Amino acid sequence: MEKELESLIANLKKELKECSKEADILNVKSKYVGKKSRITEILASLKDMSVEDKRKYGSLINNTKKEMESIVASTLESLENKVNITFDDTLDYDIENGSLHPVTIVAKEVTDCLKKMGFTVVSGPEMESEYYNFEALNVPKDHPARDMQDTYYLDNGMLLRTQTSDNQIRGMENYGAPLRICAPGRTFRNEDLDANHENTFFQIEGMVIDENISIENLMYVMQELLSEVFKTDLKVRLRPGFFPFTEPSYEMDMSCVICGGKGCPTCKNGGWIELIGCGMVHPNVLRAGGIDPEKYTGFAFGIGLTRLAMMKYKISDIRVLNSGDIRYLKNFDIK
């Protein structure tokens, strides 16, 4: 009896070893511990055994069955842990392809254009420190400019970055001067939402530092970028702006493509959409990045990529871009 029980366990283990699918394991289970299995038969024969044999073999037979069941269970469990994904390519399914998101398209167009001009693409964290998001950018605590960029402060002392300008400091620290970087990424603000304001949107930062860099260089890069994305004549305007990290600072607006500049809810009836903040890098920012402002100058810009996508694809409400509504996004014929 003992020998037979031992060999049942050994054979069960041997057959399970050869199983790679759940269905195979279940077949072996049924063969070895199912209703018609040998161990069930032996268990049933217990009732006809003498009292002495019952005492001798009763617990051994029961324990053997339990052991066999637990061997099967652990084999099934380890198969699950292996995440054995099988792909049934005989199934008939909808093979309609998706397309790139409008923001992804414009981000790629802008970075491709900047790469041609010698920019390196870098990226920084979305969860950022106050130092990189504000302080190193010449925005100390309690500076009124922090009001323009209220954000979500986290329990761990970090914040969700309000701008991709944190990459200016990280870029200078990592690469020094001369420098030519761009950094696309997601940004966050505690905003009142409307047709052109989101709380989660995309920007791309650009920064150039070298000897003798001037505003003319900045204007050239802006023109190249916009003509690459729109491939048509554009109506843009440059006006003085204020950013603590650039001096002088400018804002670049684009004539609203939704209303042709006449005024509509998208441009809040102003006829213009604010697209880009830019300027010459403030000496304090160069110093914070470890660069000598006596030797080097630079320019920086931050383009609102989500708004750029709105203008390129004539999307009248920014909120649709984060909505994940495929029915709406399908309207854009972009691949």
In the complex, what is the shortest distance from the CB of residue 132 to ligand FA5, in angstroms, rounded to a whole number?
Answer: 12
For position 246 contacting ligand FA5 by CB under 6 A, the verdict is: yes
Residue 71 or 185 having the CB closest to ligand FA5: 185
Per-position x/- string for 204-243, each x denoting binding to ligand FA5 as judged by CB under 6 A, each - no binding: ---------------------------------------x
- Copy the structure tokens of residue 79: 């198969």
In the complex, what is the shortest distance from the CB of residue 168 to ligand FA5, in angstroms, rounded to a whole number?
Answer: 7
For position 197 contacting ligand FA5 by CB under 6 A, the verdict is: yes
User: Are the C-beta atoms of 201 and 306 separated by less than 8 Å?
Assistant: yes
Per-position x/- string for 33-72, each x denoting binding to ligand FA5 as judged by CB under 6 A, each - no binding: ----------------------------------------
**Closest CA relative to residue 163, chosen from 144, 142, 148:** 148
Rounded to whole angstroms, the Cα distance separating 274 from 303 reads 9
Question: Which listed residue (172, 198, 266, 289) binds ligand FA5 by CB under 6 A?
Answer: 198
Rounded to whole angstroms, the Cα distance separating 115 from 182 reads 9
> Helix, strand or coil for residue 41?
helix
Rounded to whole angstroms, the Cα distance separating 285 from 167 reads 12
The residue length of the chain stands at 335
Ranges assigned E (strand) in 137-288: 159-160, 179-188, 200-210, 236-243, 246-255, 272-281
User: Are the C-beta atoms of 299 and 217 separated by less than 8 Å?
Assistant: yes
In the complex, what is the shortest distance from the CB of residue 259 to ligand FA5, in angstroms, rounded to a whole number?
Answer: 18
Tally of CB atoms within 10 A around 133 = 24
Residue 72 or 204 having the CB closest to ligand FA5: 204
DSSP label at residue 240: E
CA dihedral sign of residues 272, 273, 274, 275: negative
For position 307 contacting ligand FA5 by CB under 6 A, the verdict is: yes
In the complex, what is the shortest distance from the CB of residue 208 to ligand FA5, in angstroms, rounded to a whole number?
Answer: 11
Question: Which listed residue (15, 126, 191, 317) binds ligand FA5 by CB under 6 A?
Answer: 191
Count of residues touching ligand FA5 (by CB under 6 A):
24
Per-position x/- string for 275-304, each x denoting binding to ligand FA5 as judged by CB under 6 A, each - no binding: xxxxx--------------------xxx-x
Tally of CB atoms within 10 A around 303 = 27
User: Are the C-beta atoms of 136 and 130 separated by less than 8 Å?
Assistant: no
Residue 21 or 108 having the CB closest to ligand FA5: 108
Query: Per-residue b/e over 34-51, b at no fewer than 16 CB within 10 Å?
Result: eeebebeebeeeeeeeee
Residue 57 or 304 having the CB closest to ligand FA5: 304
In the complex, what is the shortest distance from the CB of residue 166 to ligand FA5, in angstroms, rounded to a whole number?
Answer: 9
In sequence order, the β-bridge partners of residue 237 are 253
Segment interacting with ligand FA5 (CB under 6 A) among 38-46, 94-102, 222-230, 272-280: 272-280
Could you list the residues that contact ligand FA5 (CB under 6 A)?
163, 165, 189, 191, 197-198, 201, 203, 243, 246, 249, 274-279, 300-302, 304, 306-307, 318
